[in-house]
Structure 1
Amino acid sequence: MTVIGFLSTAPATEDSMAEDVANAVDALEDFDVEYETGPMGTTIEAAEIGELLDAVQAAHEAVDGDRVSTFLKIDDKRSSDGDAAAKVEAVEAHLGRKASSDRSE
């Protein structure tokens, strides 16, 4: 089974959040998860829900601030071992191209 999560965590601030987001992403290195960070959040994959939640908790706690906001969306399809890349590939198969505006690849 593969559990996929989409995580966005940041302090409530008017300043740049890049350092805090970097701290959250770096915290994921201590866990047996795969991840990829984009401009709006990080996709995380784990074998089990508990592993995913432990990693998310560490990422949340790695953000320093008086108030920290964390958004987590979980996809736990229990009858499939498909990973995040397979989901994107399925969409691209229907599109007949990459699922991005950069079609140079």
Structure 2
Amino acid sequence: MTVVALLSVAPVIEGSMSAEVAKAVDALEAFDVDYETNPMGTVIEADDVGTLFAAAEAAHRAVDADRVSTVLKIDDKRTSEERAREKVDVVEDHLGRPARSEE
């Protein structure tokens, strides 16, 4: 099984959050997960939901702030081994082009 999730961890602080967000992303390295960070969060893939939760908790705990806001959206498709990139590929097949604007 492949579990895909969107994780967003953000300290509630004034000014730039980038250093604390970097700590959250770095915490994922300790787990057997694939991940890709984008401007709105980090997409994580794991073989099971337990690994996913453990990685998300580590990312949450890595942020040093009095208050931390974490959102975890999980896609646990139990009858398929489809990876996150494959999901994007299918959308791009329908579009007939990459699923992004040209820069």
| In structure 2, distance between residues paired with 1:16 and 1:74 | 27
Distance 1:26 1:67 in 2: 19
Deviations along 1:37-80, whole A, 9 cap, x unmatched?
00010000000000000000000000000000000100000000
Distance in 1, Cα, partners of 2:17 & 2:25:
12
Aligned residue pairs total 103
- CA shift, 1:14, in A, is 1.9
Q: Distance in 2 between matches of 1:43 and 1:51?
A: 14
Percent identity, aligned pairs only, is 62
Matched, 1:12 2:20: no
Equivalent residues in 2 for 1:22-41 (5 A)? Answer: 22-41=22-41
**SS state at 1:87 partner:** helix
**Normalised by the size of structure 1, how large is the TM-score?**
0.96
Q: Could you tell me which runs of 5 or more consecutive residues in structure 2 were left unpaired when the two chains were aligned.
A: none
Unaligned runs of 5+ in 1: none
- What is the TM-score normalised by the length of structure 2? 0.98
- After superposition, the CA RMSD in angstroms is 0.8
Q: Find runs of 4+ consecutive structure 1 residues off by over 3 angstroms.
A: none
- Deviation of 1:102 after TM superposition, in Å, equals 2.1
Measured against aligned partners, the alpha-carbon deviations of 1:2-51 in whole angstroms (never above 9, x if no partner) come to 00010000110121000000000000000000000000100000000000
Q: Hey, what's the Cα distance between the residues in 2 that align with 1:14 and 1:94?
A: 42
Task: Please tell me the residue identity of whatever aligns with 2:88.
Answer: V
- In 2, the alpha carbon distance for the partners of 1:68 and 1:95 equals 37
